Chain A
Amino acid sequence: MKNSNSGRKNCTNLPKILIKMKLTLLLFLSFGFVSLASQGYAQEMRLDINLKDATLKQVIQAIEQQSQFSFFYKNDQIDVEKRVTLKEKNAPIQDILNKALAGTDLTYTVVDRIIVIRPNKFPLQPIKVEGKVTDEQGNPLPGVNIIIKGTQKGTMTGGDGTFMLDVPEKNAILVFSFVGYETKEVPLNGRTTLNVTLKETAIGLQEVVTIAYGTQKKINLTGSVDKVTSKEIENRPVTQLSQALTGQVPGMTIMQRSGKPGADAGTIRIRGVGTFSNAGKAPMVLVDGIEASLNDIDPNDIESISVLKDAASAAIYGSRAANGLILITTKSGKPGKFRVTYNGYAGWTRPTKFPEYLGSADYARLYNEALENDGSQPMYTEEEIRKFEDGSDPDNYPDTDWLDLVFSGSGFQTKHDFNFSGGSKTNTYSLSVGYLNQKGLVPRNYNKRYSFRLNLNSQISKKLELIMHLSAIQSELNEPIPAGHSGAGYRLENIVIHAVRIPPTIPAKTSEGYYGFLNEGVPYGWIESNSFKNNKIIHLLGNINLNWEITEGLTVTGILGYRPYINKEHTFAPELVVNANKTQGPAEVFNYWDNNNYLTLQALVNYDKTIDIHHFHILGGYTQESYTDTWTRAYRDNLPNNSLNTINAGSEENMKAWGSGAEFAMQSVFGRFNYDLKNRYLLEINVRADGSSRFAPGNRWGIFPSISGAWILTEENFLNDIDWLNVFKVRLSWGVLGNQNIGTYYPYQSVYVINGINYSWGGSLIPGAAANTLPNKNITWETTQTSDIGLDMSLLDRKLDFTFDYFHKVTSDILYNISTSSVLGLTPSEQNAGKVLNRGIELSLDYNDHVGNFRYGAALNFSYIHNEVLEIANIEKDIAKGLFVGYPLESYYGYLSDGLFVDQNDVDTYPTQPYNAQPGDIRYKDISGPDGVPDGQVDPNYDRTVIGSRIPKYTYNGNLSLGYKNLDFSVQLQGVAGVRGMLRGYAGAAFYHKGKAQKWHLQRWTKENPNRWAPHPRVQILSNAGEPNLFTSDFWARNASYLRIKNMQIGYSLPKKWLSGMGVNKLRVYFSADNVYTFDSYYPGWDPEINTGGYFYPITATFTFGLNLVF
């Protein structure tokens, strides 16, 4: 080891002693701080040396035995056999070394515990070098680490990016490094002032990514990990992180099903949908190492996001990460000048697509046609239709655009974020505060969010580092709801579904002030009322990490994380006078209070060791997690009037209270072993054991191993000479993960529900109890096995990065709630019975370059996922749950349509339908029969098949960015394909259960125009009882593929010279548009991500003006 002998090709031009330092630096960098030359240990350490005529080598050994000092030197440079005599007692190291080296041409440097001995050929007089480090835009970079190559001596830039350093030699080389930027070596060549520009790391292999319990250079990863940086999120004026992530990571599918403020997050699926159990399909999210949700974080506070896709990279989180892992690192402060940034925007939203309904005259005509088709009487006379048309009697013959009345909100939104950061060498801080006001498309519908975060890093002593993260987010979500005792529900979407249903022939409000209604639905009255459901949600998240570096390479970390969540809900459903005889009321008030607490304690041991060309890293850890939830709800009605809305204002007569609680706990022990040979052969092994309270004691523990390896081919001689190939790496991984997240439900225990099982005898309420579920004591872990083959390439001077992954993921023992014949009479508990396969490929391609002042970049990614159910208990299909062996999850199962019946002859000659068919009805294909061949009879048992799935097979994304001097422009295109969606109920067909009709319904089948391929069958007054024309079929389960212009943005950074006078470092203004346009062939007026029966909120497009400001 002492002889750090030659042979490390890439190091031959460096002083050999650096070999170890380089590795140490990596470790130091990974902790986010740089060890500066410090005399701490050397000053305190006292040694006794008593050697007579010993060799220098013996002296060194003696020192090493007594202390933690390590020596570095090169055999051919110094004569270790030189004899010396030393007699020192309780002496500092410097004294000993001075004496030992006296009379030689050798000098030494003490850097912490490392002592370097080398020939003294540097002049003793240091040279002072000054300079400034900036980024490509000319902004000063504070906190850049500068080291004199070949030493550990160095400094750091200050808040204004400047530095000053004494160098021993005029031709020394300075190494500039900074997280997120490419490391640069600058030979001084005699200069004493230097201005250095650092290039941001392109999404490249040199960047450092956060992994489970640590960080790693991307080049050293053996698993499949994607990184998204703040740069890709920061300027996106989104209210939910998931919106900014959409399309950014290959293999990560995000579907947004609602645009309601506060509920507009997308559902995230990594590498397909792994399970059909209730154990969860969503990836695990960790914020600074603590399990949290995406709601616990303001997008603006994010430094970087790592998406861990395969089992190997997520394995250390064993049981929790079967669906992938999202690691979020928040911004921390950097030493240097106090720095203030401001990001803000304001803009407005509108629906991406909005259904268009028929006006009342057209509605009435079509309704008559429907009645006629049903053999009933027409409802509207010509005279009445004329009145609808001319609008002469708006009270009795109105033309109401209900959706327009409901979606009449401003959709204005604005967000302001401030960040204050800075610190000294030992203490840094980052404090941010943010405010979001997002007004909905519906009046009185908004989301106001206040966020606060404080991140502190403190180097308590040389050995002890304390990191603290503390964040608080309060969201206030407000929405109008239906009136009291209307029976319509207590959510905004309950208004929407009634607006979707109620015909235009009903007046919104008559001249007498009466509201129009259909059954319990009074959409306009509800909008005009002062109803509300108001949620104040507080997310708190705090964690403390204490790192203790016991000795070089050995660190012990203690982590405490606490995550309380409080949801205070206040719901007020006022009394609404609908008309003289109909009043919805009396007013109702609900208070709901939910509090859950998540507490985790973790202990980690890290050991890092390099022996020659072998590098080891060992991690061991223990975690325990506990979660408790309690909630209470209080209710009263009969409030004296609509101006009071607190609980006490209600009557005691009918007051009610509910409440309950739940808890679960987990314990885990885990270990990780990394081995890296010659920086080119990488190996990682993980094992984790998890215990969960959700299983019976005997089935509680699961063990989850993984192994992965990588080979960096470009480190080999045979690939070394290819100029255009900078990095070529192959990865292989295999691992097992568990899943058990079946809510707060206890399927292994036999329980009796006592809530809502009441009956009455003798006029009094009798509490009841009933066994509603069939327990299963045997359930245990659901497991996911993933294998992954990956390829990382960096080409053309690292301008082009390419990543490819093939994965094969099998989830077995799925905690499946088997669809049971209702003859059972009970809800069965989950069983371990099911298997799902996801396999696919992921590709990403990144190119960044510039020509003079013109910068350009393109990023493309694509993924294909084959999702297939391999096993469901011992059955072939579970129709109710959309599960079919051999087909994807979330499948639509139904008939294949073959257009519409054009006439009676068609009906008579076509295979017999499973219903009494009429011309204009859907022709269902006869695909099979009892003998496996078409039998001329369309039958639900033989002629239904899997039509398609709600899970997209293909997802793709393209980002294009252009920049010229201070101007930047980017566009993101995002799409999915191989997916189906369906509108049901009021949203789909015309006249469903007293519903109305959309404009596209006019292209129906009619007697006059018996179009076989009309997009809507003959109109009928449809019930909700299971109508033949509404049977699930490919007629309704339509292609929901789309290509979206997800984001377009143009920005301008004001030139420096304009700003310098104001003390501003950077000022950028931009215009951004999200969800600009969508290409699809879905139902006209409906966004292809919407699958609904009318209970929905449109997905929105957002147009904003924004500002980034740095002081």
Chain B
Amino acid sequence: MKRKNQYKLTFLKQIILFATGFVLLFSYACSDFLDKAPLDQLSDNTFWKNEKDARMALAGCYQINNGMWVEGDWWSYRGLLWLEFATDNAFDRRGIHSNQSKLTSGDNISTNRVVRNYWRNSYKKIARCNNFLEKIGEVNMDETAKKQMIAEVRFIRACQYFYMSQFWGDVPLVTKVLTIDEANNVERTPKSQVVSFVLSELTDAANDLPVSWDPSNYGRATKGAALAFKGRLQMAERSWADAAATYRSIMDLGVYQIDPRYEELFIESGENSPEIIFSNQLIENLLGSGILQHHYPFMAGGWHVMCTLGSLVDDYECTDGKSIQESPLYDPDHPFDNRDPRLYMSVLLPNYSTFKGMLYVTHPDSITAPDRIPTKTKTGYGLRKFMDESYSGDKLSYGGNLPIVRYSEVLLSYLESVIEAGQPITQDLLDETINQVRGRASVNLPPITELDPDKLLPVVRHERRVELAFEGIRYWDLLRWGIADSVLNGDFYGAKIADSPNDTPYQVDATGHFYVCTRHFRKDVDYLWPIPQTEIDINPNLTQNPGY
């Protein structure tokens, strides 16, 4: 019996031995069985080797959230153009509670989604730039090209901080790739430090960037682009003389000029105009934007998000260069006759503009009109600028580049800086700046001759509003001029729908203009945005701006 058990145990041992051996053999034979790498992503070990890799990473830094539903990228149409909803230029069809509209309605709160998205997307780009700058040193490539790439990336990063400093004031200044711990405990850097960082970065970038790129690289950042953003920041900082010098240096580059065309600057046919200093690059279908879907009028199958306010429409001069209050050419019964041609190229006017061969009708009584007040347009006006009438492709994926900085802005900014800096005003100065802008062939307004700086300043600010309408500049202008609390307080109206309040069931002003909304810009609060609540939830070191 004993022996029998022994036999069995031995047998068991053999089996176990065999099994163990089998397992070991198998494990050995397949020692790399558990080594698996991603099949569709590059790994650090294989990346950052040559110029091609650097180029890919560079494109990654530029890459912009063009998508239909992505908001909060400073250089996408939803990020840039929709800031107009917070101004006296336009009203968001989605109402006074809409994300952008709230920025100045008096109801902005720290959970506003668009504020969070601007924050998030800015830091996403900054992280890509920081990563690029940390890794590019390893790459074996042409040193000049490398230097230019570094300058481009520093430009992109500086621009993010430019915007952030303008809207939040103090923001965490991050210049390297952070660890999770660092990111979750970061503190806000005083605005002054952010500003000096941006200025020095842009100065360095401008030194290294080329004046222009060969056609196959069109769209990459140039010296002019870096200087333009530098000028913007100097203006915001009221360093007027510096700003004027910066802008002068752009003019002296000699590569930009005012395009005789105006309408085409904002659509595909004029996207490479010498007036464009920097633009977001788009390609139909492959890298398109939904700008046309969002803004086309309903009658053309769009969503008519941008509803122009009467305030802007009324600001366009008559062809004699006088305001509608002053000009004899203005006829209240035919308010759109004899006006600054840019009005027709920027705004859809009721019963006046035609779009794709159709008359734009918005009167509330015109039941069958696709764009009627108040069910569709909330003001009676629509957007004409950027609306490429000839386009017949997918409205969700339009390929016309989106201008970020135009030469006309540079000229007007230069003039403004010169005035504010107290430098002498001459007719020559006016002729090489503002009169170039308003005198271009397609606009052809009479030249400005006002040499008194105090009187000239409002003229320049007016020209700026009209020339750059809907381009996302107005909101920033109102903030930096410190006039948002007066401009954005009170009622806003749209198109005229009746002769007097008695003639219509709708609320209108004394002259029958449709009531749109009331804004209550809070002077002590709304000049700065709230730090997103989701960020404070994670990192209590981030203090909140006053009033939120």
Q: Is the CB of A822 within 8 A of B39?
A: no
Stretch at the interface among B27-35, B201-209, B325-333: B27-35
Q: Is the CB of A660 within 8 A of B281?
A: no
Stretch at the interface among B211-219, B243-251, B406-414, B429-437: B211-219
User: With A377-B507, A487-B396, A581-B299 in contact, is A762–B219 under 8 Å at CB?
Assistant: yes
Min CB–CB distance B283 → chain A (angstroms): 5
A697 surroundings in chain B (CB, below 8 A): 34-35
Is the CB of B441 closer than 8 A to any CB of chain A? no
Select one of B35, B61, B538 contacting A819, CB under 8 A.
Answer: B538
Stretch at the interface among B136-144, B178-186, B334-342, B458-466: B178-186
Is the CB of A626 closer than 8 A to any CB of chain B? yes
Q: Is the CB of A667 within 8 A of B33?
A: yes
Q: Is the CB of A1023 within 8 A of B97?
A: yes
B286 surroundings in chain A (CB, below 8 A): 758, 760, 765
Interface size class of A (residues with CB under 8 A): 35 or more
Q: Is the CB of B290 within 8 A of A487?
A: yes
Is the CB of B319 closer than 8 A to any CB of chain A? no
Is the CB of B56 closer than 8 A to any CB of chain A? yes
A159 to B452, CA, bound (A): 113
B95 surroundings in chain A (CB, below 8 A): 374, 376, 1021, 1023
A396 to B183, CA, bound (A): 55
Select one of A2, A820, A828, A1027 contacting B97, CB under 8 A.
Answer: A1027
Q: Is the CB of B367 within 8 A of A396?
A: yes
B370 surroundings in chain A (CB, below 8 A): 581
Nearest A residue to B100, CB-CB: A1025
Q: Is the CB of B59 within 8 A of A519?
A: no
Contacting residues of chain B (171-190) with chain A, CB-CB under 8 angstroms: 172, 174, 177-180, 183-184, 186
B356 surroundings in chain A (CB, below 8 A): 581
A691 to B36, CA, bound (A): 12
Select one of A693, A818, A1025 contacting B36, CB under 8 A.
Answer: A693
A485 to B398, CA, bound (A): 12
User: With A624-B26, A759-B62, A1024-B99 in contact, is A822–B120 under 8 Å at CB?
Assistant: yes
A766 to B506, CA, bound (A): 52
Is the CB of B119 closer than 8 A to any CB of chain A? yes
A994 surroundings in chain B (CB, below 8 A): 94
Nearest A residue to B125, CB-CB: A825
Nearest A residue to B184, CB-CB: A821
Is the CB of B149 closer than 8 A to any CB of chain A? no
Which of B98, B290, B394 counts the most A-chain CB atoms under 10 A from its CB? B394
A581 to B177, CA, bound (A): 50
A554 surroundings in chain B (CB, below 8 A): 11-12, 15
Is the CB of A718 closer than 8 A to any CB of chain B? no
Is the CB of B147 closer than 8 A to any CB of chain A? no
Q: Is the CB of A487 within 8 A of B518?
A: no
Q: Is the CB of A691 within 8 A of B34?
A: yes
Contact with B along A1-30 (1 / 0, CB 8 A): 110000000000000000000000000000
Is the CB of B126 closer than 8 A to any CB of chain A? yes
Nearest B residue to A694, CB-CB: B36
Q: Is the CB of A826 within 8 A of B127?
A: yes
Stretch at the interface among B107-115, B228-236, B416-424: B107-115
User: With A61-B1, A746-B38 in contact, is A626–B33 under 8 Å at CB?
Assistant: yes
Is the CB of A903 closer than 8 A to any CB of chain B? no
A605 to B99, CA, bound (A): 66
Nearest B residue to A769, CB-CB: B56
A818 to B55, CA, bound (A): 31
Contacting residues of chain B (22-64) with chain A, CB-CB under 8 angstroms: 22-23, 26-27, 30, 33-44, 47, 53, 55-64
Is the CB of A381 closer than 8 A to any CB of chain B? yes
Is the CB of B534 closer than 8 A to any CB of chain A? yes
Nearest A residue to B9, CB-CB: A609
A257 to B379, CA, bound (A): 42
Is the CB of B167 closer than 8 A to any CB of chain A? no
Min CB–CB distance B102 → chain A (angstroms): 6
A906 to B286, CA, bound (A): 56
Min CB–CB distance A766 → chain B (angstroms): 4
Is the CB of A54 closer than 8 A to any CB of chain B? no
Contact with B along A328-352 (1 / 0, CB 8 A): 0000000000000000000000000
User: With A700-B34, A768-B62 in contact, is A65–B215 under 8 Å at CB?
Assistant: no
Stretch at the interface among A143-151, A749-757, A793-801: A749-757
A895 to B95, CA, bound (A): 26
Q: Is the CB of B1 within 8 A of A377?
A: no
User: With A667-B27, A768-B62, A1031-B111 in contact, is A754–B219 under 8 Å at CB?
Assistant: no
Q: Is the CB of A754 within 8 A of B180?
A: no
Is the CB of A119 closer than 8 A to any CB of chain B? no
Q: Is the CB of A1026 within 8 A of B111?
A: yes
A700 surroundings in chain B (CB, below 8 A): 34
Contact with B along A686-717 (1 / 0, CB 8 A): 00000111000100100000000000000000
Which of B281, B286, B538 counts the most A-chain CB atoms under 10 A from its CB? B538
Contact with B along A1013-1028 (1 / 0, CB 8 A): 0000000111111111
Is the CB of B425 closer than 8 A to any CB of chain A? no
User: With A581-B299, A622-B23, A1023-B97 in contact, is A757–B34 under 8 Å at CB?
Assistant: no
A623 to B437, CA, bound (A): 77
Is the CB of A607 closer than 8 A to any CB of chain B? yes
Is the CB of B276 closer than 8 A to any CB of chain A? no
Nearest B residue to A654, CB-CB: B285
B113 surroundings in chain A (CB, below 8 A): 1024-1026
Q: Is the CB of B178 within 8 A of A824?
A: yes
Q: Is the CB of A666 within 8 A of B34?
A: yes
Nearest A residue to B95, CB-CB: A1021
A551 to B12, CA, bound (A): 10
A94 to B218, CA, bound (A): 100
Is the CB of B444 closer than 8 A to any CB of chain A? no
A891 to B368, CA, bound (A): 48
Min CB–CB distance A575 → chain B (angstroms): 11
Which of A551, A664, A770 counts the most B-chain CB atoms under 10 A from its CB? A770
Is the CB of B375 closer than 8 A to any CB of chain A? yes
A664 surroundings in chain B (CB, below 8 A): 36
Q: Is the CB of B110 within 8 A of A578?
A: no
B513 surroundings in chain A (CB, below 8 A): none
B19 surroundings in chain A (CB, below 8 A): 556, 603, 605, 620, 622
A20 to B72, CA, bound (A): 77
Min CB–CB distance A1025 → chain B (angstroms): 4
User: With A626-B33, A879-B537 in contact, is A768–B507 under 8 Å at CB?
Assistant: no
A261 to B111, CA, bound (A): 37
Is the CB of B166 closer than 8 A to any CB of chain A? no
Is the CB of B301 closer than 8 A to any CB of chain A? yes
Q: Is the CB of B123 within 8 A of A825?
A: yes
Q: Is the CB of A605 within 8 A of B36?
A: no
Nearest A residue to B5, CB-CB: A611
User: With A823-B183, A825-B125, A1026-B109 in contact, is A750–B8 under 8 Å at CB?
Assistant: no
A994 to B286, CA, bound (A): 31
Extra inter-chain contacts (16) besides given A769-B42, A824-B123, CB under 8 Å:
A64-B1, A550-B11, A556-B15, A581-B300, A620-B16, A626-B33, A667-B30, A749-B43, A754-B40, A758-B59, A760-B283, A761-B213, A763-B281, A765-B283, A825-B124, A916-B106
What are 20 A-B contacts defined by CB distance under 8 Å? A374-B96, A375-B517, A551-B8, A554-B15, A583-B301, A620-B16, A660-B40, A666-B34, A667-B34, A749-B38, A753-B41, A754-B56, A755-B40, A762-B214, A768-B62, A824-B178, A824-B180, A825-B126, A940-B110, A1023-B94
Q: Identify the B interface with A (CB < 8 A).
A: 1, 3-4, 8, 11-12, 15-16, 19, 22-23, 26-27, 30, 33-44, 47, 53, 55-64, 68, 94-99, 101-102, 106-107, 109-114, 119-120, 123-128, 130-131, 172, 174, 177-180, 183-184, 186, 213-220, 281-283, 285-287, 290, 293, 298-301, 303, 356, 358, 367-368, 370, 374-375, 394-396, 505-507, 514-515, 517-518, 533-540, 542
Q: Which 10 A-B pairs have the closest CB atoms?
A: A825-B127, A768-B59, A824-B183, A770-B60, A582-B301, A1026-B111, A1023-B97, A1025-B99, A750-B44, A760-B281
